[in-house]
Amino acid sequence: MKIHLIDGTYELFRAYFAMPKSTGPADQPTGAARGLLQTLLSLLRQDDVTHIACAFDSEILSFRNDLFAGYKTGEDTPKDLRAQFELAERVASTLGLVVWRMMEFEADDAIATAACRWADDPAVEQVVMCSPDKDLAQVVRGSNVVSLDRRRDQVIDEAGVIDKFGVSPASIPDYLALVGDSADGIPGVPRWGAKSTAQVLQRYKHIEEIPNDASEWDIKVRGGNTLARNLSEKRELAALYKQLATLRLDVPISESLQCLEWQGARKSDYQALCVECGFDRFIDSPHKWQEDGATS
């Protein structure tokens, strides 16, 4: 079997900026949630999608904001998008998906925890993380745990991570700490660009192993003296940035693998939601239903 792990917040944001704005019968914003619904319905129609869960950031803030004031806060999230956060969770839930609602942690942490938990299960052929977020590249393992960018129809395995970033998955937190990640508010270390960072990490793997003095480096990197000096001056910050970029693998997920098996949409709840939101054209779209504990 394959396990599909969805970053619901990413899909909601993507739908918000890709779909025309729309409102429901009560004049509530629904466009992004409608786009998420279409995405999930499309995914569920695929034959190999049998075990699935969807993680959401119920709040943009997480434990990382306590570690670093500059970490993303979501203050610029449009109000009409934020108003659809709870609705998005209801969309996934009424479709019959396991929903992980993150408070202290982030959706990526839940996905990483689940991927690592079940990757070695003999019944699991592959874990598919349905998100292009570069943070998740650190979780990719061979072709057993992969990242899927559905918009580009691109599957990224371990070889793909190396091809894209120039480093192995284990070095991705170090890479993001040095280069920075504007989406998460991680500034990086001055002058450490993607090319030089990949070159150094190919040799030393982790920030902690990079010598402070470029004269001690056994590789030649353009601007090495400046890079080494900047890293030496920013060691503590680089360590903090790495901590921010490292996904947690201890999110308290209570479900068993069996719980992730999709049994169908919860018919009465799903159809009531469609009526409430004006999703009339999707009211009969799920190809499998749950009714009174049974599937049809």
Six-digit token string for 154? 């691109």
Q: Which two tokens stand for residue 256?
A: 């068993």
Judged against a pLDDT cut of 90, whether residue 142 lies above it is answered with yes
- At residue 294, does pLDDT exceed 90? no
Position 292 scores a pLDDT of 55
% residues pLDDT > 70 (the chain): 98
Strands of the 289-291 sheet, one edge to the other: 265-266, 289-291, 294-295
| Mean pLDDT of the 136-153 span | 95
Which one, of 207, 214, 208, 209, lies nearest residue 228 by Cα? Answer: 214
- CATH 1.10.150.20 spans which residues of the chain? 165-245
At the top level of CATH, the class of 165-245 is mainly alpha
2-161+248-295 has which fold? Rossmann fold (3.40.50)
pLDDT of 180 higher than 80: yes
Residue 295: how many CB atoms within 10 A of its CB?
12
Q: Give yes or no for residue 293 having a pLDDT over 60.
A: no
What are 226-273's pLDDT values in tens digits? 999 999 999 999 999 999 999 999 999 999 999 999 999 999 999 999
DSSP-assigned letter for residue 281: G
Q: For residue 59, what pLDDT is reported?
A: 73
State the Rg of the chain over Cα: 21
pLDDT at 290: 93
73 compared with 209, residue with greater pLDDT: 209
Q: Is residue 180 within 8 Å of residue 150, measured between CB atoms? A: no
**Is 195's pLDDT higher than 60?**
yes
Q: How many CA atoms lie within 13 A of 218 on its CB side?
A: 4
What's the average model confidence in pLDDT over 195-199? 98
What local confidence, expressed as pLDDT, does residue 58 receive? 82
Cβ neighbours of residue 152 under 8 Å, at least 6 residues apart?
Answer: 132
Q: What per-residue confidence (pLDDT) applies to 243?
A: 99
The two three-digit tokens of residue 138, written as one number = 């650190």
pLDDT of residue 212 exceeding 80: yes
pLDDT-based confidence at residue 151 (cuts at 50, 70, 90): confident
Q: Are 157 and 143 in contact (CB under 8 A)?
A: yes
33-62 pLDDT, tens per residue? 999 999 999 999 999 999 999 999 987 789
> What is the distance between the alpha carbons of residues 296 and 287, in angstroms, rounded to a whole number?
9
Return the structure tokens found at 124.
Answer: 């699991």
DSSP 127-192: EEEE---GGGGGG-BTTTEEEEETTTTEEE-HHHHHHHHSS-GGGHHHHHHHH-BTTTTB---TT-
CATH 3.40.50.1010 placement within the chain: 2-161+248-295
Average pLDDT, the chain: 96
Average pLDDT of 61-90? 94
Amino acid 271: pLDDT: 98
Structure tokens at 27: 């004049």
Interatomic CA distance for residues 41 and 33, integer angstroms: 12
Burial of 155 (0-12, 13-18, 19+ CB in 10 A): middle
Which pLDDT value is given to residue 189?
98
Higher pLDDT, 167 or 294: 167
Strands (E), the chain: 2-7, 51-57, 98-102, 126-130, 145-149, 154-156, 265-266, 289-291, 294-295
Give kind and range of the element (H or E) at residue 201: helix 194-204
